[in-house]
């Protein structure tokens, strides 16, 4: 018995294969465009397994300054280090958001404190000489939008975050290298261990003001901006402050152990 199958519709085999071919071409075209724009980047070195965490293996893209001159700053992310795990999200906040946060905090700035590891209470300390204030979580629309953006970037829900803290450093003020994770029972019971921190720079500075990771693994003098760093900044892997940029670093490793290379000042 022979059975012939007929479709109610005329065969479109040749048509559909032409279409698939066209689509493949278009997709290739899109990828090429993305490559040209630097949106997708092919790592220039595949890296031997032993050098996976070497800072010199990290590709640092140059900022597109022509776009910034036109007042249009596109956000882009950059890996800074793998030990600690640290990333810079360029143009994370707009200029307006930075100025708004400063205006909210300015009337309420007080001398910063540190957490007492025995009692869990706040205390004055010579290792932290800045002034600052806290903004209640979700206090207004702008703050909520920023908190949502942080949640999207970090994959950590907003409810897991502490309120934003606005800090101000005068010339000569500092926060000596420290860990953001807790080493006492009091604070770990009260909300659990801190996983990660995001620092957002609200103003530009002429010099200094870097965030420095003195225990970062790798040759930190190999970074492209090494010569622009202050003396303090050269004591480790440093990130230069730039208005609107955000620095995310993890105090805990993916296996939930504490990461001592997250030491920062």
224 versus 254: smaller Cβ distance to ligand NAG: 224
Q: Which residues pair with 90 in a beta bridge?
A: 76
Check binding of 45 to ligand NAG (CB under 6 A).
no
Whole-number Cα distances in Å, 61 to 88, 149, 212: 11, 22, 20
- Could you give phi then psi for residue 187, rounded to 5 degrees? -75, -35
81 versus 197: smaller Cβ distance to ligand NAG: 81
Helix, strand, coil percentages in the chain from 3-state DSSP, rounded to 5:
30, 20, 50
164 versus 237: smaller Cβ distance to ligand NAG: 237
Name the one range near ligand NAG by CB under 6 A: 69-77, 139-147, 215-223, 232-240.
215-223
CA distance 79 to 67: 21
Q: What is the DSSP letter of 227?
A: G
168 versus 234: smaller Cβ distance to ligand NAG: 234
- By CB under 6 A, the count of residues binding ligand NAG is 3
- CB of residue 221 to ligand NAG, shortest distance in Å: 5
Q: Which residues pair with 78 in a beta bridge?
A: 88
Name the one range near ligand NAG by CB under 6 A: 21-29, 88-96, 194-202, 216-224.
216-224
CA distance 101 to 41: 34
Interface pattern 161-200 for ligand NAG (x via CB under 6 A)? ----------------------------------------
3-class secondary-structure state, position 111: strand
- CB of residue 239 to ligand NAG, shortest distance in Å: 17
222 versus 232: smaller Cβ distance to ligand NAG: 222
Name the one range near ligand NAG by CB under 6 A: 153-161, 166-174, 185-193, 214-222.
214-222
The binder of ligand NAG chosen from 28, 219, 225, 228 (CB under 6 A): 219
> Token pair of 254, please?
């993916």
Check binding of 222 to ligand NAG (CB under 6 A).
yes
Name the one range near ligand NAG by CB under 6 A: 39-47, 81-89, 174-182, 218-226.
218-226
Length of the chain counted residue by residue? 265
- Let me know: does 101 contact 166? Beta carbons within 8 Å: yes
41 versus 221: smaller Cβ distance to ligand NAG: 221
Check binding of 221 to ligand NAG (CB under 6 A).
yes
61 versus 221: smaller Cβ distance to ligand NAG: 221
Provide the H-helix boundaries in 155-199: 185-189
| Sign (positive or negative) of CA dihedral 166, 86, 243, 222 | positive
Longest dimension (CA), the chain: 95
Contact footprint for ligand NAG (CB under 6 A): 219, 221-222
């Amino acid at each position: 018995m022979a059975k012939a199958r007929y479709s109610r519709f005329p065969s479109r085999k040749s048509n559909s294969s032409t279409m698939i071919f066209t689509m493949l071409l278009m997709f290739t075209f899109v990828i090429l465009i993305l490559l040209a724009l630097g949106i997708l980047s092919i790592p220039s070195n595949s890296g031997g397994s032993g050098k996976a965490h070497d800072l010199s293996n990290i590709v640092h893209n140059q900022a597109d300054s022509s776009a910034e001159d036109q007042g249009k700053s596109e956000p882009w992310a950059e890996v800074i280090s793998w030990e600690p795990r640290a990333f810079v999200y360029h143009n994370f906040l707009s200029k307006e958001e930075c100025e708004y946060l400063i205006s909210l905090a300015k009337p309420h700035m007080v001398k910063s404190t540190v957490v007492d590891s025995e009692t869990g209470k706040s205390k004055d300390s010579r290792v932290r000489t800045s002034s600052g204030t806290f903004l209640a979580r979700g206090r207004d629309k702008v703050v909520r939008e920023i908190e949502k953006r942080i949640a999207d970037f970090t994959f950590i829900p907003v409810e897991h975050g502490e309120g934003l803290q606005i800090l101000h450093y005068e010339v000569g003020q500092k926060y000596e290298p420290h860990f953001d994770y807790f080493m006492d029972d009091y604070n770990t019971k009260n909300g659990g261990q801190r996983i990660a921190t995001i620092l957002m720079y609200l103003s530009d500075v002429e010099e200094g003001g870097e965030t420095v990771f003195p225990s970062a693994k790798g040759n930190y003098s190999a970074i492209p901006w090494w010569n622009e760093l202050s003396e303090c900044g050269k004591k480790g892997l440093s990130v230069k402050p730039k208005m609107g940029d955000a620095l995310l670093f993890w105090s805990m490793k993916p296996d939930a152990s504490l990461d001592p290379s997250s030491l920062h000042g």
